[in-house]
Structure 1
């Protein structure tokens, strides 16, 4: 029986579209293409989410893939998180789940820089029972250890949890550990999938 809902944050509870962020900051197609490859084509951004690489070292390594663009790289690192927006349904969804008796947690790949820039956007977190940011524990999804750490920290039973994430690899990892999982494609669809599960409380009164 499901007693606990665990949310990813990006693209589930807040907007998170790197290409749009790059296009907003850098208006020429060449810059967008080069910087997108540098940031997301070589695994370096994962190390920022893991919280293990200093910012200046990250910039130096990214510049290997985007020569002469150190200033653009630094600018994006300092401004990207300010473009996040909270989904209109986020707080009410959490409140509804809590009202029905579910425990609600988060598990998110998130950098220290993004947390510091996003405190207002993340103001739904106090409504939750707890959670884990990747940068605080040196682990990232879909590594099994980060799911296990969350459950160990809060005494959660894998088989009683539903994990909601927009990435198939992350939901597959949750399922492999014994959780139920929903690959998020939209709020209404996620609600329908939850309603089809063995929930401790009904989703609608």
Structure 2
């Protein structure tokens, strides 16, 4: 079936999300590895992505880990330096789809506060026809409920949706509902998948 809508993840599909790289630059790889081994920073971020208060969650984690408090607060205070740069070829692909009249949605694990920050810097996030943000929905990928919410809102059958994400567990959850999927491992492969689906012309 030819997809009737294309759904993008955002982190590591349209915007690079590599907190470890930021900390390697700021505090050095050895201290970064030690901090990430002692503090579940990605688990902390999951709470934000499910709708928790951005500042409160990060600062509470900093208080629980006084030896790393300054570094943990950077996750909040310097967040835009963690979420960069734009993956330009993916952005071009998004815009090419829209120029072809293909509906384009976002389905992303993103906090309420962090998405507000991202909108200030990355104006293209306004270009989606529909946005499904985990923080606003109160549920995050790969929970089946978030995919059900997308289906119910957009009104399209699962097999009409083509979804790309860089995490296999999120792709597997979508595929189990009948979505068409593509595990994102770079913009070139994603672009080719869309050509194969006859959503974009051959370059």
**TM-score, scaled to structure 1:** 0.86
The verdict on how the C-alpha distance between 1:101 and 1:116 changes in structure 2, with shifts beyond 3 A counting, is closer
Higher helix share: 2
Superposition RMSD on alpha carbons, in Å? 2.2
Q: Secondary structure at the match of 1:189?
A: helix
The equivalent residue for 1:137 is 137
Question: How far apart are the structure 2 equivalents of 1:103 and 1:109?
Answer: 20
Question: How far apart are the structure 2 equivalents of 1:88 and 1:194?
Answer: 17
The equivalent residue for 1:156 is 156
The answer to whether the 8 A contact 1:6-1:107 is kept is yes
1:175-194, aligned counterparts within 5 Å? 175-194=175-194
How far does residue 58 in structure 1 lie from its aligned partner after superposition? Answer: 4.2
How far does residue 75 in structure 1 lie from its aligned partner after superposition? Answer: 2.3
The equivalent residue for 1:166 is 166
Q: Secondary structure at the match of 1:85?
A: coil
1:42-191, aligned counterparts within 5 Å? 43-53=43-53, 55-61=55-61, 63-64=63-64, 66-83=65-82, 84-191=84-191
The verdict on how the C-alpha distance between 1:88 and 1:76 changes in structure 2, with shifts beyond 3 A counting, is same
Structure 2 unmatched runs, 5+: none
How far does residue 118 in structure 1 lie from its aligned partner after superposition? Answer: 1.8
How far does residue 57 in structure 1 lie from its aligned partner after superposition? Answer: 4.3
The answer to whether the 8 A contact 2:54-2:76 is kept is no
Aligned residues: 200
How far does residue 94 in structure 1 lie from its aligned partner after superposition? Answer: 1.6
Question: How far apart are the structure 1 equivalents of 2:166 and 2:98?
Answer: 22
Runs of 4+ in 1 over 6 A off after TM superposition: none
The verdict on how the C-alpha distance between 1:175 and 1:166 changes in structure 2, with shifts beyond 3 A counting, is same
**TM-score, scaled to structure 2:** 0.87
The verdict on how the C-alpha distance between 1:39 and 1:122 changes in structure 2, with shifts beyond 3 A counting, is farther
The verdict on how the C-alpha distance between 1:98 and 1:191 changes in structure 2, with shifts beyond 3 A counting, is same
Of 73-82 and 128-137, more deviation after overlay is shown by 73-82
The answer to whether the 8 A contact 2:58-2:72 is kept is no
Of 20-29 and 168-177, more deviation after overlay is shown by 20-29
Q: Secondary structure at the match of 2:132?
A: strand
